[in-house]
Structure 1
Amino acid sequence: MRDVVINLLATAIAAAAGWTSQYIVRYRRILRKRSFFGVSPGAQVMLFVAKHFSSQRPQSVHRNDVATLVELATTIRESGGLPALVTSEDGHREAGRVTEYCVGGPSANPRTAAHLRIALPGVRFTPAEPDSLLPFSVGDRAFRRRPGAEQFALLARVRPSASAAPVFILAGQTALDNLGAARYLMANWRGLRKTYGNRNFCLVLGLREPSTFGADHVHLVADVSVPAFTAIAGAPEPDHEHRDEPDTAVAALDPSHHD
């Protein structure tokens, strides 16, 4: 009888130790995730979304940007935060107090345009025009899309100071590219955290064959952190019109994306 009791106690202790170990691992993981994404339990996180390019309604949002918001909001909620949507018509909010996610290029999202002017002086977007290639440049390197074959997005995290809340910018050449940037961010945040910690970064991402694969085949094209955060000598101030990217989605989107 004594041996049975001892075995039961040993089993219970082992089970409790295993559960505690798993709990600590999960808790540390969520802490790392909160730190990277700038989420505090119960704190509001602002999602600034671009206006739909071709819609006449001032608060219309492209369906691919809606999918992007879902990706971001899911991660924020899983981290204990409270996602709050802000449209381009209601973007007059203070910066640095709460974490922000800006979805869409500067022609469509005034909030993105402001952050680019202030924090990323080495980035230049061409104002959106129907049927244009919507190029953008970082430093002396230009990125021009080949519609349906190769398209690009800018993914940046800007933290004005060590104590300020971060700003994430997902600025694609089209709304589909915004979604690709979000999926890349969700799938690769651990690697980005190991590489950059709490430092600012700016990446150019590419979508391969988006006319066939949608936003699923996303790869890193270049780390442009140095030129993006460096002012271009003699460059004129960007002149961004507040319009959205054209609709280029031609394929159904798979919500899952893995490394």
Structure 2
Amino acid sequence: MTDDVRNIVLGVIAAGISGSLGWLARTYLLRRKLRRKQAFFGLPAHSECLLVVNRYAGAEGSVHRYDVFALLELSALIKDCAANAQIVTHDVAQQGFGERTEFCVGGPTSNQRMAAHLRTLLPGVRINTDPEPGPDRVAFQIGSERYRLEPGISEYVLLARLTGGQDARPVFLFCGQRAITNQAATRYVSRHYEKLLRKHGNKSFALLLKVVNSQAYGPDVVEVVGDVTRAAQAPVPTAPPSHRAGGS
């Protein structure tokens, strides 16, 4: 074998080894990324999760199209994790939480289960459910701060990942002032889960997001107002009972 042939053979072998190592490294990184994603969402391969669907106000049994888009965002995420989803309507999801991951979509006026989750898991959140029009309709009260709806201009949505214990599967809440904000929150968590994982790990958190100018940009322009976990989980202080002076 001449030196030229030997060099060619060695070059081919080196290229093959380098390519194999590169493929193994990429495969390892992709699998590691998938495992981290599955852990964050509580969706190991072939596991079952729950998609709780709200209803479209004024149309019994139907779902707003933006909430359908939100469910499609979540369905793609679940498929990426090689998990399976069961879709149930909010009024028949009468079961506990923690045994399997749950994604709950919609505000308390259209989703009874969301209302129950807020009372149980985020008692510091108050949402005005008065159907009468007014400046505080569907306004969020979190701690001492109030967040009013400006339709199409400035709209808020609560994105929360909550667990009932170390080994419990998480509950994800997408609680918006309008249906388009629910889709914005599902899209946000799908795109930014790695950032959320780095910051919060697999712990509970609640973020308040603002959807900016949805009438022009749809659900794509989202700002993080802040981490409201502490205020949302703290019970609202009850007013002391009043005592009326009475004569004897």
What TM-score results when the alignment is normalised by the length of structure 2? 0.90
Gaps of 5+ in 2: 240-248
Q: What aligned pairs does 1:32-47 form with structure 2 within 5 A after superposition?
A: 32-47=36-51
Determine whether 1:69 maps to 2:71. yes
Coordinate RMSD, CA, aligned? 1.5
Aligned to 1:10: 14
- 2: CA distance between counterparts of 1:211 and 1:128? 24
CA deviations 1:127-149 (Å, max 9, x no partner) are 15264531011111111111121
Deviations 1:130-174 (A, max 9, x none): 645310111111111111210100011101101000000000001
Q: 1:136 aligns with which of 136, 140, 149?
A: 140
Q: Alpha carbons of 1:102 and 1:137: their partners in 2 closer, same or farther (altered >3 Å)? A: same
Runs of 4+ aligned structure 1 residues displaced above 6 Å come to none
| Deviation, structure 1 residue 124 | 0.8
AA aligned to 2:86 is: A
Query: What is the DSSP-based 3-state SS (H/G/I as helix, E as strand, rest coil) of the residue aligned with 1:181?
Result: helix
TM-score, with normalisation over the residues of structure 1?
0.86
Q: What CA distance in whole angstroms lies between the structure 2 residues aligned with 1:206 and 1:5?
A: 60
Distance of 1:66 and 1:38 partners within structure 2? 22
Contact 1:91 1:110 in 2 (8 A): no
Specify every segment of 5 or more residues in structure 1 that has no aligned partner in the other structure, as ranges.
236-259
Q: Deviations over 1:224-256 (max 9, x none)?
A: 111101111117xxxxxxxxxxxxxxxxxxxxx
Percent identical among aligned pairs is 34
Larger RCO (alpha carbons 8 Å, 6+ apart): 1
- Select 1:192's aligned residue among 183, 190, 196: 196
Is residue 91–residue 113 contact of structure 2 (8 Å, CA) maintained in 1? no
Matched length:
234
Does the aligned pair in 2 maintain the 1:135–1:143 contact within 8 Å? yes
Please state if 1:209 is matched with 2:213: yes
Show the counterpart of 1:108: 110
Alpha-carbon distance in 2 for matches of 1:90, 1:168: 18
Aligned mates of 1:46, 1:39 — CA distance in 2: 11
Quick check: 1:145 aligned with 2:149? yes
Shift of 1:4: 3.2
Does the alignment pair 1:230 with 2:234? yes
1:156-199 CA-partner distances (Å, limit 9, x unpaired) = 11011010000000000011111111111112111111110011
Query: Which 10-residue stretch deviates more, 181-190 or 85-94?
Result: 85-94
Q: Secondary structure of the residue that 1:90 maps to in structure 2?
A: coil
**Aligned-partner Cα distance in 1 for 2:77–2:66:** 17
2:123 to 121, 124, 129: 121
- In structure 2, relative to structure 1, the CA distance for the partners of 1:196 and 1:124 (3 Å cut) is same
Larger radius of gyration: 2
User: Structure 2 CA distance, aligned partners of 1:149 and 1:2?
Assistant: 70
Match of 1:220, SS state, is: strand
Deviates more, 1:25-34 or 1:123-132: 123-132
- 1:68–1:179 contact (8 Å) kept in structure 2: yes
Farther off after superposition, 73-82 or 6-15: 6-15
